[in-house]
Structure 1
Amino acid sequence: MYRFLLTPRWWGINVFVLLAIPFCVFMGSWQLSRFEARVQDHRSADAQAASAGREAARPLKELLPVDQVTSGKPVTATGHYDTQLLVPGRELDDAAGFYVLTLLRTNDGKALPVVRGWLPGTADAAEAPAAPRGEVTVTGALQASETPGDDGVSAQGGLPAGQTGVISAASLVNLVPYDVYDAWVTLEHADSGMKAVPAKAPSDSGLDLKAFQNLGYTGEWFVFAGFVVFMWFRLLRREVEFARDAELGLVPEETTAGERESSPSGV
């Protein structure tokens, strides 16, 4: 009754099943590992944020370049405030407002973007407090350069002079005539009545949509594996029923073995 398993069609079906199931299990396990890695990154980011306030501030150059380990760390830098820009469209405590961003010219000639604070309402240069004069030493949380599309980050185009939508060296180098560090700092204590801007978590370290997509893909791959097994048993059962009917003479004579072989569904 099971001699049909030796036919070329069933050899092909069996080989496909034997390859498909391990592949689906592997892909499901890989997606699950990606989700677990994001969960671990999220926990590490929370622990890092909790401990950052207890760490002593370190010189800027010791923490560059910014990565998931150094992001949010307290940093200190010395220099003179220069160009001041506004960063519109930024929310704080569920209120709309803007950042006051001032470039700190350090002793090596490069500038460090410093978010001195946040103000509510529409970005207006007249409302932004002037930066302190003379040499200053700033202390704040180190942040990685932003990219358009990040949470709260808009595109660069269409903004009036004196404003920028993205805090990054790539965008600021077009607005100032000197080199800019590929990082920025948000002050621990805001200047002149502004609200301090809390440090952002490192990118790709939170339980965002991508993390739950990985979890969803995990379930899909295991469902695919189960579906392959289900279809194999279904085809096998139908083939056995057909063979049994043939032995009992219940299959019409015009249904030949060749026609069965050509039918992918076995009917």
Structure 2
Amino acid sequence: MPGRTVVGVYRFLLTPRWWGINVFTLLAIPFCLFMGSWQLSRFQDRVQEDRTQTRQIATNAHESPKPLDSLLPVDKGTSGKRTTVSGHYGKQLLVPGRQLDDKDGYYVLTLLRTDTGKALPVVRGWLPGTADASKAPAAPAGEVTVTGVLQASETPGDNGVSAQGGLPAGQTAAISSASLVNLVPYRLYDAWITLDQADAGMRTVPATAPADSGLDLRAFQNLGYTGEWFVFAGFVVFMWFRLLRREVETARDAALGIEPAEQPVVTVS
């Protein structure tokens, strides 16, 4: 049986069962590699985006502020830009549960009513401790011109923004037109700013990167998925060789007339 070593032993590869196994393997491996490469490219894009944002922040800090209307609507390109707005301060709210330098505190948010008939939420500064309206400095009276960094409306659940409800009157969990529309009697811009320099007695709130950008949790999820897909590809190859080896051994034993060992039967008395 000299010819049986190659032809006979591997004849099982032509059976319908092994055709299915081979087709699945040939499709699964490139699919896993493609998905892993795609997830890796997403992570690399976010790394490049983070570098671009870092350079952009440095550039924005030295740019002259631009009129608000020229920067709207807020997107990844305009978020972080400096803007200047004139108007009269109106209703004031507190935004609890905000940290600065790992210390708990709250933002002092005041609505700036502009000549356009809309109001712009302005974060005038940060104070430590539990939100307390009696400790928040009153906004300047009369017409003011403020300069700050433009930010997109927050979405509860993103960037650590709280989604809690049932806050006391005069407080809001998120700085967004959707959250504020029922709290203030003004039409609102779908944006807000944090002042370049906080008002007296408060600390300046730094600008944040736009949601779903840069090296955030989702970026590292992309990196984790990259590893998973490549592991899946390796697992498919491993299982194919394992099945092949077992089938070859079974075929050779059958060719030599060796019966497969029977599994012992366990009886319960």
Mark yes or no: TM-score above 0.5: yes
- Can you list the C-alpha shifts for 1:91-142, whole angstroms capped at 9, x where unaligned? 1122211111110011010000000111112211111111111111110000
Structure 1 segment 1-267 matched on structure 2, within 5 A: 1-251=9-259
**Cα RMSD, aligned residues only:** 1.5
Instruction: Give distance in 2, aligned partners of 1:217 and 1:95.
Output: 34
User: How much does 1:3 deviate?
Assistant: 1.3
Q: Once the 2 structures are TM-superposed, how far is the Cα of residue 77 of structure 1 from its aligned partner? A: 0.8
Deviation for aligned residue 1:208: 2.2
Q: TM-score, normalised by structure 2?
A: 0.90
Residue 152 of structure 1 and its aligned partner are, at CA, apart by 4.0
Would the aligned equivalents of 1:156 and 1:164 in 2 still touch at CA under 8 Å? Answer: no
Residue by residue, what CA displacement relative to the aligned partner does 1:152-207 show, whole Å, maximum 9, x if unpaired?
A: 42225221111111110001110112211110000001112211111011112232
- CA deviations on 1:67-101 (whole Å, 9 max, x unpaired) are 11111110111111111111111111222111111
CA contact (8 A) 2:159 2:211 kept: no
- Aligned partners of 1:45 and 1:202 also within 8 Å: no
> Gapped runs of 5+ residues in structure 2?
1-8, 263-269
Question: Partner letter of residue 201 of structure 2?
Answer: G
- Corresponding position of 1:259: none
Shift of 1:41: 1.6
Q: Which piece of structure 1 moves more, 199-208 or 18-27?
A: 199-208
Q: What amino acid maps onto 2:96 in structure 1?
A: P
Bigger CA drift: 112-121 or 148-157?
A: 148-157
1:16-73 deviations in Å (ceiling 9; x for gaps): 1111111111111111111111111211221111211111100001111111111111
